[in-house]
Amino acid sequence: MAEGRLAGRAVLITGAGQGIGRGLARRFARESARLVLAEWNEETGADAAKEVERLGAEALFVKTDVGVKEQVDDAVAAAIERFGSVDVLVNNAWSGAPMGRVEWKTTEELERALRVGFLSNFWSMQAVFPGMKARGWGRIINFCSLNGVNAHMYTVHYNAAKEAVRALTRTAAREWARHGIVCNVICPAAATEAYVATMKANPAMEAELLAAHPMGRMGDPEEDVGGAALFLASDDCRYVTGNTLFVDGGSHINGAAWSPELPDELPQ
């Protein structure tokens, strides 16, 4: 494989077994990255590692529940043991929860969302920081969502976690800039497995959403989202930090939002 833009760089991606994480793994593999794929699902994680190896990349799969700090730390340690460093950290993992009105949500749902969606980012960023600081180079890419930015209905657990990550990212960007570490956020719109499943069950909602979308389509995880992530992971991003990049085909411009129908009362 010809040398690419990430040649020699070790990249850790959480939630790499499917969707955007797996798309990024393929895109980075084509750019000669050395990949550590952290994923809780052993089957999809191992399969993703084999896939990028077929593309010519070195890859390590680490079974990881990002809601457990020790497992996050272990994934970073495994990356350092295998490749000597973590040069690029991509926090993409998420654990789904049912939609529901704010008044229906439980403390347990919010706590789980904050552990998986926010604290996992915090833990992994702390774990990779010493090495990035010592080398004077680092790239951190955290995935957030237009759901949080525009306060989409019925996903307060997700919205809160993702907006907390944006605050974390911007704060780290300010504090760590002097060390050559840049930290940025991507808010994507992509046709992931979860999106396809949700919209298959709600075709009218999908039609309404795409009608309001400037490009009329969801992005491809590898080609559309992966291209933007590649820039943020590369040397070209040396003077870009603390930004939220909307990789969504322009849907943030007109505030395109989905609003499924829910009853007024919690179903019994």
User: Which active-site residues does the annotation give?
Assistant: 158
**CB-count burial class (<10 Å; 0-12, 13-18, 19+) for 128:** buried
**What is the Cα Rg of the chain in Å?**
18
Query: Dihedral angle at the C-alpha atoms of 165, 230, 215, 198, nearest 10 degrees?
Result: -50
d(CA 28, CA 8): 11
How far is it between the farthest Cα atoms of the chain? Answer: 58
Phi/psi-derived region of residue 262, left when phi > 0, alpha when psi is between -120 and 50, beta in every other case: beta
Q: Which tokens in the block code for residue 233? A: 């992971």
d(CA 14, CA 256): 27
How would DSSP label each residue in 18-43?
SHHHHHHHHHHHTTT-EEEEEES-HH
In 3D, which of 176, 184, 194 has the Cα closest to residue 229?
Answer: 184
Chain-centre distance for alpha carbon 117: 9
Q: Supply the DSSP symbol for 152.
A: -
- Contact yes or no for 87/142 (Cβ under 8 A): no
Q: Supply the DSSP symbol for 196.
A: H
Does an H or E element contain 13, and which?
Answer: strand 10-14
